């Protein structure tokens, strides 16, 4: 595999705090290539030999804004079995509904744009239903849960100019932890 030329913006970049713009269809060839490059980059970052070869940090989600393209597009690459992946291509997402139950990542959320350790928890909904579009402009709905629900919410936040570190209470980073379920 050849690593795509992707440069991920650092959290200090002001673009990461801007709201991304709705996408119009049909997608341009540049947008289609960007989506395929993002999927390949994330896939390679989750394969140990590729990660070591290219000195990558493992990641499962990436938003277009993280590579400087201010469009409402993100991808998630979920490893379902050893080196077998399920790809989610999400364009112009809207959360239609969510569970009452809140969860958080026990070891803490991470982000390819945040190159430091961050202590604290980010409250997330355990289940969400999202309406979005695929690469062909076809509308679909998807219900996601647990870690994929967290990944979707994390990436949707990116599209709205919010980083996970913005959601951690600086005075009390583990606030309300007892009211949520750790995953």
Catalytic residue positions? 155
Convert 8-32 to b/e letters by CB count within 10 Å (16 or more is b). beebeeeebeeebeebeeebeeebe
DSSP label of 103: E
Q: How many other C-beta atoms are found inside a 10 Å radius of the C-beta of residue 35?
A: 21
Q: Which ranges constitute the DSSP H helices of the chain?
A: 29-46, 48-54, 146-159
DSSP label of 146: H
- Lookup: tokens for 31: 């947008």
The residues, any chain, with a CB within 8 Å of residue 171's CB and separated by 6 or more, are none
Q: Which position has the token pair 């030329």?
A: 5
Q: What is the CA radius of gyration of the chain?
A: 16
The residues, any chain, with a CB within 8 Å of residue 144's CB and separated by 6 or more, are 127, 128, 130, 151, 152
């Amino acid at each position: 595999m050849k690593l795509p030329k992707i440069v991920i913006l650092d959290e200090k970049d002001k673009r990461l705090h801007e709201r991304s713009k709705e996408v119009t269809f049909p997608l341009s060839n540049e947008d289609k290539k960007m989506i395929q490059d993002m999927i390949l980059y994330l896939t390679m970052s989750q394969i140990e030999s590729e990660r070591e070869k290219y000195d990558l940090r493992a990641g499962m989600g990436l938003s277009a804004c993280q590579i400087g393209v201010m469009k409402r597009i993100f991808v998630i690459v979920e490893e379902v079995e050893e080196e077998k992946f399920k790809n989610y291509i999400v364009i112009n997402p809207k959360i239609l509904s969510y569970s009452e139950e809140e969860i958080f990542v026990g070891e803490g959320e991470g982000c390819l744009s945040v190159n430091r350790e961050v202590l604290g928890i980010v409250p997330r909904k355990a289940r969400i239903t999202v309406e979005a579009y695929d690469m062909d402009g076809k509308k679909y709905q998807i219900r996601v849960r647990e870690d994929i629900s967290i990944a979707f919410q994390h990436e949707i936040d990116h599209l709205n100019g919010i980083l996970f570190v913005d959601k951690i209470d600086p005075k009390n980073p583990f606030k309300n932890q007892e009211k949520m379920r750790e995953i």
